C-alpha cells in the first residue's frame, strides 16, 4: 500500500511569481532561533517535467534536517509544469525565484534575519535538475553551489531523449488512456499533488507517452517533431540543428567558467535519467576549471531507493554516503564565498 503524503514541518507558503494570473509558490523553513545573515538551500522536486509538487512524496527530509542543523533556510519551490507551459517557462520561474529571494523575501523574514544571497545553493532531483541547472545558467544572483540527484538536463541531446524506448519501471503507474484529456486541458499547473495515498498524479502519463514515442523534447519544449529531427543527425551535430528560439532550453550549451561549483549524485543503473547526463556535465565543468565532483552509486536505480523491503523504501546502498559528501561540498562552497 502506498505511504501517506509526508507530514511537513512548520513552514510558511509564499507566492514568488505571478504570471498570466497564475501563482507559483514556495515554502520556506527557518532554522531554530533563526538570526543573522543566513545561507539557504533550494529544493526542486522531480516528476518528469510534467508532474510533482514541492510538498510531494519526494520531499527530502534529510536535506531539511541538514538545514535545521546548519542554521540554513530551507526553500522548497514549485515551477510551472510542462503542458501547456514548457521548459522555457521553467527557466523564467528559476529566474523569478532568485529575483524574489533577493528583494521581497527579505522584507518577509523576521526582523533579526536576512538571507545571504551570496550563499544560496540549488538542489534538483530527477526533473528538478532542470530548474537547478537553469538557475545556475540564468539566475541573478547566481547560486553559490549546485547538487543534483539523478538530475535531468545535463545533456538533452543524448539518444535517450531523441528516440523512443521501452517503458521504465515507473511507466506502469499511470493510465495512458488519459492522454487525450490531458493534452486537451490547457490549465497551467505548478503544484501537482497526487490523490491521497498515491505516488504521483496521472499528469505523469504525459512523460511516459513522450518517452515511449521519442517525443520527450517535443513535449517539454512545445515543438512537435523536434526529437525526430535531431535524431536524423549524429550526436555531435545536434546542437547546430536546434531552432534558435529553443536553444536557450538546452542548458548544456550555456555552461561556462562562471558556472557554480557542482556535485552530481547518480545511480549507474538509472533507466529513467541516464548517468551519462551527470558524467557529461561533470566533464564539461572539469574542462572549464569549475570545482565539481561526480558521485556514482554502483547499481543505483532512479530515485536511489531500495523497494525490496516494501514501504517505506530504504535508501539505496551507497546513496546516504554520496549525499553526505554532496552536503559537505555545499558547505565548502559556502565557506569559499
pLDDT in tens, 232-270: 999 999 999 999 999 999 999 999 999 999 999 999 999
In a domain, 116, yes or no: yes
pTM given for the model:
0.96
Choose the weakest-confidence range: 94-108, 120-134, 304-318.
304-318
In a domain, 234, yes or no: no
pLDDT band at 170 (very low <50, low <70, confident <90, very high): confident
Has residue 159 got a pLDDT over 50?
yes
The C-alpha atoms of residue 290 and residue 283 are separated, in whole angstroms, by 10
The pLDDT assigned to 10 comes to: 87
Provide the 3-class DSSP secondary structure of residue 143. coil
Span 140-146, average pLDDT: 98
In a domain, 261, yes or no: yes
Q: What's the domain count of the chain?
A: 1
In a domain, 216, yes or no: no
Q: What is the pLDDT of residues 191-202, one digit of tens each?
A: 999 877 677 899
Q: Mean pLDDT across the chain, nearest whole number? A: 95
pLDDT band at 1 (very low <50, low <70, confident <90, very high): very low
Q: Which domain holds residue 48?
A: 12-156+248-336
CATH number (domain holding residue 147): 3.40.50.1820
Has residue 13 got a pLDDT over 50?
yes
Helix orientation angle between 128-138 and 87-102, rounded to the nearest 10 degrees: 60
The C-alpha atoms of residue 208 and residue 211 are separated, in whole angstroms, by 5
In a domain, 231, yes or no: no
The C-alpha atoms of residue 284 and residue 281 are separated, in whole angstroms, by 5
Helix orientation angle between 61-70 and 319-336, rounded to the nearest 10 degrees: 40
Would strands 305-306 and 314-315 be described as parallel, antiparallel, or unpaired?
A: antiparallel
Residue 181: CB partners within 8 Å, gap ≥ 6?
Answer: none
In a domain, 224, yes or no: no
pLDDT band at 172 (very low <50, low <70, confident <90, very high): confident
Nearest CA to 101 out of 30, 150, 58, 42 is that of 42
In a domain, 255, yes or no: yes
In a domain, 111, yes or no: yes
Amino acid at each position: 500500500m502506498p505511504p501517506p503524503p509526508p507530514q511537513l514541518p512548520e513552514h510558511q507558503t509564499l507566492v514568488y511569481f505571478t504570471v498570466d494570473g497564475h501563482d507559483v509558490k514556495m515554502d520556506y523553513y527557518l532554522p531554530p532561533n533563526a538570526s543573522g545573515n543566513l545561507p539557504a538551500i533550494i529544493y526542486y522536486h522531480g516528476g518528469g517535467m510534467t508532474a510533482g509538487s514541492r510538498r510531494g512524496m519526494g520531499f527530502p527530509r534529510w536535506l531539511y534536517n541538514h538545514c535545521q542543523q546548519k542554521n540554513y533556510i530551507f526553500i522548497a519551490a514549485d515551477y510551472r509544469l510542462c503542458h501547456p507551459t514548457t521548459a522555457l517557462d521553467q527557466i523564467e520561474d528559476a529566474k523569478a525565484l532568485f529575483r524574489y529571494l533577493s528583494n521581497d523575501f527579505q522584507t518577509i523574514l523576521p526582523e533579526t534575519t536576512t538571507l545571504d544571497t551570496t550563499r544560496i545553493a540549488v538542489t534538483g532531483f530527477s526533473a528538478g535538475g532542470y530548474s537547478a541547472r537553469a538557475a545556475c545558467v540564468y539566475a541573478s544572483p547566481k547560486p553559490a553551489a549546485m547538487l543534483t540527484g539523478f538530475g535531468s538536463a545535463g545533456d538533452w541531446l543524448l539518444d535517450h531523449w531523441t528516440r523512443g524506448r521501452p517503458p521504465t519501471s515507473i511507466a506502469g503507474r499511470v493510465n495512458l488512456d488519459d492522454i487525450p484529456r490531458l493534452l486537451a486541458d490547457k490549465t497551467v499547473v505548478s503544484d501537482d499533488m497526487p490523490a491521497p495515498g498515491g505516488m504521483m498524479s496521472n499528469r505523469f502519463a504525459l512523460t511516459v507517452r513522450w518517452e515511449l514515442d521519442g517525443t520527450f523534447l517535443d513535449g517539454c519544449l512545445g515543438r512537435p517533431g523536434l526529437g525526430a529531427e535531431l535524431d536524423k543527425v549524429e550526436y555531435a551535430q545536434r546542437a547546430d540543428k536546434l531552432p534558435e528560439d529553443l536553444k536557450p532550453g538546452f542548458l548544456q550549451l550555456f555552461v561556462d567558467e562562471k558556472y557554480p561549483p557542482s556535485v552530481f549524485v547518480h545511480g549507474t543503473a538509472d533507466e529513467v535519467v541516464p548517468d551519462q547526463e551527470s558524467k557529461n556535465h561533470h566533464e564539461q565543468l572539469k574542462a572549464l576549471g569549475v570545482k565539481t565532483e561526480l558521485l556514482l552509486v554502483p547499481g543505483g536505480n532512479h530515485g536511489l531507493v531500495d523497494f525490496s523491503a516494501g514501504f517505506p523504501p530504504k535508501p539505496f546502498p551507497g546513496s546516504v554516503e554520496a549525499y553526505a559528501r554532496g552536503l559537505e561540498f555545499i558547505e565548502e562552497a559556502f565557506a569559499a564565498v
